[in-house]
Amino acid sequence: MERSTMQIRRFRASDYPAYESWFDDELLNEQLGPMDREWLEYVLHDSTGAQYSILRQAELVAVVGICLPVDGHAYYFITDLAVRPDLRGEGIGRNALGLLLAHPDLQDSTLWRAGVMPDNPAAQAFFTHLGWARREAQTPFDELIEFEYQRQPAVPGFR
């Protein structure tokens, strides 16, 4: 799956029905669920974070949530990354992460972190495989295991 065939944009309310249907998958629901309208209202109006839709030929294939840099943590923090269950193992997660890190609106920091539940070895292996370093320090976000990645600046000389 080439990243060039995929697009990224902010999550829209119209994405919700397709995204919600993914949670019929037992594994996804166990790791990121349950999904409800309260979640939708929160992500559509949250000023401290953003939810992104990853599309392939106008079809929703992944959703990624982040916290934006603020005082106290000057880095982007990935809170969730979901790939449509029937597309697992096709490289969509890797490409979604690449689109996210390269997004022009997400260049305020080159430091990225991600939180992973201790009982999610697949997500831990995913970030490790992509070169993210596991942090031993405590995370400010619950009991999550934290991974860190220092990306290259998108523009030479830029932060």
Give the domains, in start order, of the chain with CATH numbers.
3-150 (3.40.630.30)
Indicate whether 156 pLDDT > 80: no
Mean pLDDT of 96-103: 95
Closest CA to 79 of 63, 101, 61, 59: 63
Within 10 Å of residue 146's Cβ, how many Cβ atoms? 20
Indicate whether 137 pLDDT > 80: no
Looking at per-residue confidence, does 65 or 142 come out higher? 65
For residues 25 and 15, the answer to whether their CB atoms sit within 8 Å is: no
Indicate whether 159 pLDDT > 50: no
Indicate whether 18 pLDDT > 90: yes
Q: Report the predicted TM-score, pTM, of the whole model to 2 decimal places.
A: 0.89
Rounded to 5, what percent of the chain is helix, strand, coil?
35, 30, 40
First vs last C-alpha separation in the chain: 30
- Per-residue pLDDT tens for 38-94? 999 999 999 999 999 999 999 999 999 999 999 888 999 999 999 999 999 999 999
Structure confidence at residue 128 (pLDDT): 96
Return the amino acid letter for 121: P
Element (H, E) at 123: helix 121-129
- Per-residue pLDDT tens for 112-136? 999 998 889 999 999 999 999 998 7
